[in-house]
């Protein structure tokens, strides 16, 4: 009897929560799925912080009359299994017209397969897997992929007069695409790749990779990794006395990189879509607001989420108060020159890939500074 009592209770609980959602008052809802607990929760936290600021700005702006927009957050724990559950939870809620998220490409795609089949527009602030936007016409992203960033950085390095490079990349979908993007761009400009070394996610010991790579004396080491690994890498490079300059992907861009890496990250170059030093008033408003509320400077991830929410909300406003999942998708696809903090963003109407302008930066005197010229 006990087992059935539990079963009954569980089913009962589900029925209750199911109806509770439908009983909410009339409003347009955007679903936001992100890792709010677990290993990657710091990213989810940034997304939620940034999204809240943008949502309040939007509702106060009066861009949309006759309806109010709300955002429902769900915690995916960076787990594909949870992401699938959330996808169906969002689909069941008829108030939800669009979804933002998830964080990693794998998890975004696990949910994306469901959104594609059930026709829900999905905009990820960070999923950079080349196949993500190919899932269906319902997938969008607000991050320039490594197919765009790699060649951009390769041009920059070549223009600075450096001809050989070693690439250190994280062994995941994103890392491989970063490797491919950079290597193809670098070779196309006449550069030579001396070595490519992968490390598994979670690894913090780069000494053997560093020693191996340094032996071939490349002009530059290109890092395709996140700031935690980047800081560890830079520190170990300093300890080993290796002087080869570092260039990296935009994923390294975070105040935490300098906090963790201290002097060892001095001179690291990277190109990013967002910099809090940008004098653009939109950027300054966002940076001040974020710092005032959350006592920390926003990084690229927060900015990426801020703009993803902005793009989604503007599309809602364009589609009007009677917005549907279909009309929101069409409005999203028509996004051109959205004036965000990560640069003016346009979606290609066919591939739905974003185009943005990148800012070249380096770490100097303990902070990121915009560099002009090579």
Residues within the interface to another protein (CB under 8 A): 2-4, 6-7, 10-11, 13-15, 17-19, 36-38, 73-75, 77-82, 84-85, 87-89, 91-92, 104, 106-107, 109-110, 112-113, 117-118, 129, 131, 135, 171-176, 198, 200
Residue tagged 């109806």 (tokens): 19
Q: Residue 83 CB, nearest distance to another protein (Å)?
A: 10
Identify which of residues 2 and 295 has a Cβ nearer to another protein in the complex: 2
Nearer to another protein, 20 or 60 (CB): 20
Q: What angle do CA 114, 97, 301 make, to 5 degrees?
A: 75
Closest approach, Cβ 291 to another protein, in A, equals: 22
* Residue 77 C-beta: closest distance to another protein, Å: 7
Specify which residues 70 forms β-bridges with.
Answer: 29
Burial (CB < 10 A; 0-12, 13-18, 19+), residue 355, is middle
Beta carbon nearer to another protein, 36 or 143: 36
Nearest to 193 by CA among 202, 184, 201: 184
C-alpha–C-alpha distance, residues 310 and 349, integer Å? 18
- 65 to 52, 321, 326, 360: CA distances (angstroms): 19, 7, 20, 39
- Shortest reach from residue 99's CB to another protein, in Å: 14
Q: How many other CB atoms are there within 10 angstroms of residue 4's CB atom?
A: 8
Identity of the residue, 150 or 343, whose beta carbon is nearer to another protein in the bound complex: 150
For another protein, give the closer residue by CB, 150 or 340. Answer: 150
- Please identify, using beta-carbon distances, which residue of 113 and 266 lies nearer to another protein: 113
- What is residue 168's three-state secondary structure? strand
Radius of gyration, alpha carbons of the chain:
22
Shortest Å, Cβ 268 to another protein: 25
* Spatial separation of the C-alpha atoms in residues 346 and 211, rounded to whole Å: 43
Tell me the closest approach of the beta carbon of residue 13 to another protein, in angstroms: 5
At residue 151, the 3 state secondary structure works out as helix
Name the minimum Å distance from CB 285 to another protein: 27
Whose Cβ is closer to another protein: residue 51's or residue 363's? Answer: 51
Nearest approach in angstroms of CB 3 to another protein is 6
Place of tokens 């560890």: 232
Q: Which of 253, 270, 255, 18 is nearest to 150 (CA)?
A: 270
Q: Which C-beta is closer to another protein: that of 58 or that of 90?
A: 90
Nearer to another protein, 176 or 333 (CB): 176
Give the whole-angstrom CA distance, residue 183 versus residue 185.
Answer: 5
CA distance 199 to 216: 19
Tokens 């009359």 -> residue: 65
* Shortest distance, position 5 Cβ to another protein, whole Å: 11
What's the first-to-final CA gap in the chain, in angstroms?
74
């Amino acid at each position: 009897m006990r087992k059935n009592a539990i079963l009954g209770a569980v089913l009962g609980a589900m029925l209750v929560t199911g109806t509770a959602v439908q009983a909410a008052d009339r409003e347009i809802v955007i679903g936001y799925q992100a890792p709010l607990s677990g290993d990657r929760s710091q990213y989810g936290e940034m997304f939620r912080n940034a999204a809240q600021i943008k949502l309040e700005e939007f509702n106060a702006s009066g861009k949309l009359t006759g309806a109010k927009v709300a955002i429902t957050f769900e915690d995916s724990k960076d787990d594909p299994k949870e992401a699938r559950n959330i996808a169906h939870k969002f689909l069941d809620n008829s108030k939800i017209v669009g979804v933002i998220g998830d964080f990693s490409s794998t998890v975004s795609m696990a949910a994306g397969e469901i959104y594609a089949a059930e026709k829900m527009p999905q905009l990820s602030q960070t999923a950079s897997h080349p196949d993500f936007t190919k899932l269906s016409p319902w997938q969008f992203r607000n991050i320039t992929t490594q197919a765009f960033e790699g060649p951009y950085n390769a041009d920059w390095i070549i223009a600075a007069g450096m001809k050989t490079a070693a690439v250190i990349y994280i062994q995941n979908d994103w890392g491989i695409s970063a490797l491919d993007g950079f290597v193809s761009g670098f070779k196309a400009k006449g550069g030579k790749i001396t070595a490519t070394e992968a490390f598994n996610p979670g690894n913090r010991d780069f000494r053997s990779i560093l020693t191996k790579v340094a032996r071939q004396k490349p002009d530059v080491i290109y890092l395709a990794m996140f700031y935690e690994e980047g800081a560890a890498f830079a520190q170990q490079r300093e300890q080993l006395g290796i002087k080869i300059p570092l260039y990296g992907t935009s994923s390294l861009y975070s105040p935490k990189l300098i906090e963790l890496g201290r002097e060892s990250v001095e001179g690291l170059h990277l190109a990013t879509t967002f910099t809090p030093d940008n004098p653009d008033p939109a950027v300054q408003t966002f940076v001040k607001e974020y710092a005032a509320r959350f006592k920390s400077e926003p990084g690229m991830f927060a900015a990426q989420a801020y703009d993803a929410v902005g793009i989604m909300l503007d599309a809602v406003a364009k589609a009007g108060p009677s917005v549907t999942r279909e009309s929101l998708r069409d409005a999203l696809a028509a996004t051109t020159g959205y004036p965000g903090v990560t640069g003016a963003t346009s979606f290609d109407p066919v591939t739905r890939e974003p185009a943005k302008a990148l800012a070249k930066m380096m770490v100097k005197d303990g902070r990121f500074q915009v560099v002009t010229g090579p």
